[in-house]
Chains A and B, each alone.
Chain A
């Protein structure tokens, strides 16, 4: 793939970045907290609108190129966070127990909240693929290998994957910013929570927390980065050997309790 041949899309991206950074962050009070809108969220929304096929602004080969670029550039986030963690590596190690245990929240949180809701809404075995993990690329590979992607489980994982691509980052950015402004949780705890294991979602969530607590920016990025690294690397193995079997078991147990009686056909996911 020749990146520079489709130079138009890079110019569009540059213009989007300039406009969004020029607008800057905006806060809108909602209830007891604030919704924090960061330039990266505008960038995602503007990019998304421009890419609507009906508008014919972005060609489909350009979209594929954007996906490829996105795939490698999250590495720069990893590097940036690495340079924040490096000087404070001792401090990170000191909170090793917290960091390790909160990973259980990352790995099982999707099932704990997602599975009962999915079953109550009437999903069939789609619920397993949908909720066993955060459903990014490595998790798709797991489901694909075990059930195939045209199975109900496969449809479940692909649906959540697409939702994640579309609005995962925006949702987590707004949620994290809102929770941070509510002051219920310590920013360090929120930062660890932000390491959900997807580059763009982690960026949006930790960026929002950082924007609410600018004086703790370094620690927030440090904890979010360390947590995200753990989630990404351990997550592959955890979701294969623990999350998936656990989700299966819980599904067979919860389905008769929460599922609807005449729910023989699965929801078209």
Chain B
């Protein structure tokens, strides 16, 4: 996807997020729109860096770096960014994303119908395993480190 399409896609998700945010979490649309716009700029800068910097790291990496630097204590604009970004509820952002995830399911349904029930059991085991094992280790380690 080129940069223009990516920007349009993120703006579309933004409109849905801000509307959903107002309906589900009673946040004024203005504040949330500013928050989303700031996060959009951060994302686009991160995407830009991925293309400019010759060291190959995934997009997720550069976007995170920009978001972290912009809001870390050393950043002079951290407070403003954190305030407005905080107006966009994480859950409100998830709803449109999963709506698109749902709308894309149809093309996989044919392949899914041909699958054996056994592979579905294995899939559930795989997702459960990764979540529970990590949670178990985290629980023990956080306890040892005295954080919980």
Q: Which residues of A contact B (CB under 8 A)?
A: 1-4, 9-10, 12-14, 16-18, 20-22, 24, 38-41, 43-53, 58, 60, 62-64, 66-87, 89-90, 94-95, 97-99, 101-114, 117-118, 121-123, 126-127, 130-131, 134-135, 156, 158-160, 162-169, 171-172, 175-176, 179, 185-186, 188-190, 192-197, 199-201, 203-207, 210-211, 217, 221, 227, 229, 232-233, 236, 267-269
A66 x B100 contact (CB < 8 A):
yes
A260 to B125, CA, bound (A): 19
A17 to B12, CA, bound (A): 12
Besides A233-B57, A236-B58, 19 more A-B contacts (Cβ < 8 Å) are A9-B103, A43-B98, A44-B99, A51-B105, A66-B101, A78-B60, A82-B63, A83-B85, A98-B137, A98-B147, A102-B137, A105-B132, A117-B122, A123-B119, A166-B109, A169-B98, A172-B127, A194-B131, A233-B60
* Contacts A186-B148, A210-B91 given; does A118 touch B23 at CB 8 Å: no
The list of the 5 closest CB pairs from A to B, nearest first, reads: A47-B102, A82-B67, A86-B71, A109-B133, A113-B129
Helix, strand, loop or mixed for chain B's interface?
helix
* Contacts A52-B106, A79-B67 given; does A114 touch B129 at CB 8 Å: yes
Chain A hits for B92, CB < 8 A: 21
A96 and chain B: residue at smallest CB distance: B145
B135 and chain A: residue at smallest CB distance: A193
B134 x A105 contact (CB < 8 A):
yes
Which chain B residues numbered 93 to 148 have a C-beta less than 8 Å away from chain A? 93-112, 114-116, 118-139, 141-142, 145, 147-148
Question: Nearest chain A CB to B79's CB is how many angstroms away?
Answer: 9
Question: Nearest chain A CB to B113's CB is how many angstroms away?
Answer: 10
A166 to B110, CA, bound (A): 12
Chain B hits for A53, CB < 8 A: 106-107, 109-110
B79 and chain A: residue at smallest CB distance: A87
B105 x A13 contact (CB < 8 A):
no
Chain A CB within 10 Å, residue with most, of B17, B91, B94, B109: B94
Interface presence of B29 (CB below 8 A): no
Residue pairs across A and B with Cβ atoms less than 8 A apart, 16 shown, are A1-B5, A40-B95, A48-B103, A50-B103, A70-B101, A75-B47, A78-B60, A81-B90, A110-B130, A114-B129, A160-B122, A166-B112, A193-B132, A204-B98, A207-B94, A229-B60
Chain A hits for B67, CB < 8 A: 78-79, 81-83, 85-86
* Contacts A13-B100, A76-B93 given; does A189 touch B139 at CB 8 Å: yes
Chain A hits for B13, CB < 8 A: 69, 73, 76
Task: Give a binary string over B18-59; 1 marks a CB under 8 Å from any A CB, 0 the rest.
Answer: 011101100000000000000110110011000000000111
Chain B hits for A3, CB < 8 A: 5, 8-9, 12
A99 to B137, CA, bound (A): 9
